[in-house]
Amino acid sequence: MQSFGVYIIGDEILSGKRQDAHLGKVISLLSSRGLQLSWAHFLGDIPEQITSHLRASMARGDIVFSFGGIGATPDDHTRQCAADAAGVPIARHAGAVANIEAQYGEAAYPKRVRMADFPQGCDLIPNPINRVAGFSLHEHYFVPGFPEMAHPMVEWVLETYYRHLFHAADYLEASIVVTEAGESDLIDLMHAMLARYPMLKLFSLPRTNQRRTTEVGMKGESALVKQAILDLKAGISALGFPWVDVQMSE
């Protein structure tokens, strides 16, 4: 299955003037459909940086959601960067123009209409708030930075293009919470688990409390995870540490 990724673009996020509202929402939208986010990058308004990242993820064939930088102000570079990464020119999209004209009438000119200048050959992503569309190119989906617009647009993309992937992967995540043990107490067992189950991913989440609590788990193919979690429980018990189950998630 292709990897899902996220770009969150804008100096305002990196400077702290705005707080990110996208990463957690994308994770939620994907997980509710049996999908997982593989990576995320926060990028400043640096055209060379944006272009190089887009070129790399397009070459990998990832499915990517990109937030921000598609407005009409001088610091909005994403449209041009996407075109450069794909090796196509910028062109005014007739459908996007029609939407902007329908929304703003004569006030669409001369500036708002610039938001219809997209990489040549792209498809539109409908904006349910103000009809200023996003666009898609090579399974990269570019939406505004405003959450109230962006999140319904991401959901539309998933429902329109990727329903065939919903709950299609054989995936399971399972973990236990170990008390009276820090991560350092469990490292040898973690290495042994990875050696025994190289096709799975292991995760460890320490908790800051007085009981030295650590959540340890495995994720990947369901049958392997179910066996691995039994082996993990046996290994923890052999070390003499108490543990409790965490509900498995698919």
Concatenated DSSP letters for 87-136? T--EEE-HHHHHHHHHHHGGGGTTTGGGGGEEETT-EEE--TTT---EEE
Q: What is the pLDDT of residues 123-161, one digit of tens each?
A: 999 999 999 999 999 999 999 999 999 999 999 999 999
Global pTM?
0.90
- Mean pLDDT, the chain, whole residue set: 96
Report the alpha-carbon distance of residue 172 to residue 248 in Å, rounded: 7
Q: With residue 153 as reference, give the H or E element that holds it.
A: helix 147-161
**What is the DSSP pairing of strand 117-119 with strand 90-92?**
antiparallel
Mean per-residue pLDDT, 177-195 = 95
* pLDDT for residue 247: 72
CA distance 174 to 227: 10
What DSSP line would sit under 204-227, residue for residue? EEEE-STT-EEEEEEEESHHHHHH
In the chain, where the domains are located: 4-165, 172-249
pLDDT of residue 249: 72
pLDDT single digits (tens) 2-31: 999 999 999 999 999 999 999 999 999 999
Tell me the fold of 4-165: Molybdenum Cofactor Biosythetic Enzyme; Chain A (3.40.980)
pLDDT, tens only, 56-91: 999 999 999 999 999 989 999 999 999 999 999 999
Q: How large is the average pLDDT for residues 164-190? A: 94
Fold assignment, 172-249: Alpha-Beta Plaits (3.30.70)
- List, in sequence order, every residue forming a beta bridge with 207; answer none if it has no partner: 213
